[in-house]
Amino acid sequence: MRTTRMLVALAALLALSAVAPAQTRALALVGGTIYADPAAPPLRNGVVLIRDGTIAAVGTRGAVQIPNGAETIDCSGLTITAGFWNSHVHFTERKWANAARVGAPELASQLQGMLTRYGFTSVFDTGSMWENTKRIRDRIESGEVAGPRIRSTGEILEPPGGTPPDLVLDITGAMHVKLPEVAGAADARAAARALLDAGVDGIKLYAQTWAPPIVVMPPDAVRGAVDEAHRRGKLAFAHPSNRDGLLNAVRGGVDILVHTTPQMGPWNDALVDEMIAARVTLIPTLKLWRYELRHDRESIRDQFAGVGVGQLRAWRQRRGVVIFGTDVGYMNDYDPTDEYLLMKEAGMTSRDILASLTTAPAERFGASSRAGRVAAGLDADLVVLAADPAADVRAFAAVRHTIRGGRVIYSAPPPLRAR
Ligand SMILES: [Zn+2]
């Protein structure tokens, strides 16, 4: 038993620092409860067989033949799902600066602390310095550093005068940055085009800024940036903040709202219907509202955060699409547990939450043929959980192993035991 625990710890260390050789042996996850798809019943006592970074077979223990010489992970009593997506993260904290020069173990440790230890095998970075984030991504994709698949919008388009002052950036722990500021359709198009030419995966804009000075992006600037993104087959993300920002974003054709908006009070049915008719996808970021008011009186914090929960409830009641995201990287409390609890409070079941972590983002970002489910032929991006989230949604954060492309990139340290 002690040897096993030492091996697990050693594997975790190796996953942090080593360049993995090309996987030749098969890997089998044996004996867990598998949620292959949030819409399907779980498969008990199942096996996931992985070969060459891809899921080779999924089935019950009797139905899947485990080849001789395969490496196995005993998943008895554990739960297996597809790899999670966090679709609202940032690589803007000072720790990510000069990404080309951060040592590989340190970079891997930082990626683990924010993302992979919580099962995130794919992330959408909704605003950072593209050249820097691209270096992080390149180092992960080369195999030098263990980390998630990264998509990014690069720099956020701001309304005129909207770039946060250095003092705000210092207090929030962020790198200093000069963001493109756009006043009308022509410069919004030009700024979006420059980013898309540089290779970003989407366009993010502040429909209304969150920090002083509070400014709203003119509607024709929103439309210009969105049109340019769509013309190139990319999605547009918006930070709405308040009523003007929200309506400008929705009416300007934005695809994804990266927050609920408790600042504006409850969402009524007409507003939710207009957003759904515009095919908007919502990232709720409910834990963020408690974090933002962490220095305020509990009653004020609870009331504000409760409005966000009510907005998500109204959204779900009218069948709005939700994808999971927490704004980590801006928020330096990385643990997603409270987000799962707040989503449940808003009426989402564990299956709904699983869909927001897997199938819904895979579909929204055009990756369903490779990701989002546990099925033969898909990338072997998987999460092994210590417990079944159907019994308690906090289990989504109780990650034992995170597997990306068939490679174990995180294993939880062995639990403390009384001697
Ligand atoms: Zn954010």
| In the predicted structure, residue 419 carries a pLDDT above the cut 70 | no
Ligand 1 centroid to residue 210 C-alpha, Å:
10
**pLDDT score, position 208:** 86
Ligand 1 centroid to residue 351 C-alpha, Å:
25
Rounded (to 5) percent helix, strand, coil in the chain: 35, 20, 40
Question: How far is the C-alpha of 87 from the C-alpha of 72, rounded, in Å?
Answer: 31
Containing 85, the helix (H) or strand (E) segment is strand 84-89
Query: Over the stretch 85-119, which tens digit does the pLDDT of each residue have?
Result: 999 999 999 999 999 999 999 999 999 999 999 99
Closest C-alpha among 319, 212, 305, 195 to residue 259: 305
Q: Which two tokens stand for residue 67?
A: 């080849």
**pLDDT score, position 159:** 93
Mean pLDDT on 209-238:
93
Question: How far is the C-alpha of 122 from the C-alpha of 147, rounded, in Å?
Answer: 9
Ligand 1 centroid to residue 329 C-alpha, Å:
8
**pLDDT score, position 1:** 43
Residue 235 φ then ψ, to 5°: -95, 155
Ligand 1 centroid to residue 27 C-alpha, Å:
36
| In the predicted structure, residue 4 carries a pLDDT above the cut 70 | no
**pLDDT score, position 415:** 77
Strand-strand pairing, 79-82 and 84-89: unpaired
Q: What is the pTM of this model?
A: 0.93
Query: Over the stretch 15-56, which tens digit does the pLDDT of each residue have?
Result: 444 444 455 689 999 999 999 999 999 999 999 999 999 999
Ligand 1 centroid to residue 87 C-alpha, Å:
10
Question: How far is the C-alpha of 102 from the C-alpha of 137, rounded, in Å?
Answer: 13
Ligand 1 centroid to residue 128 C-alpha, Å:
9
Closest C-alpha among 114, 155, 165, 164 to residue 132: 155
- Identify the bridge partners of residue 68 per DSSP, sorted by sequence position: none
What is the three-class DSSP state of 30?
A: strand
Q: Which two tokens stand for residue 405?
A: 């492309």
Ligand 1 centroid to residue 30 C-alpha, Å:
38
Query: Over the stretch 166-217, which tens digit does the pLDDT of each residue have?
Result: 888 999 899 998 899 999 999 999 999 999 999 999 999 999 888 777 889 9
Query: Over the stretch 407-417, which tens digit does the pLDDT of each residue have?
Result: 999 999 987 77
**pLDDT score, position 23:** 52
Ligand 1 centroid to residue 290 C-alpha, Å:
15
Question: How far is the C-alpha of 2 from the C-alpha of 217, rounded, in Å?
Answer: 59
**pLDDT score, position 209:** 85
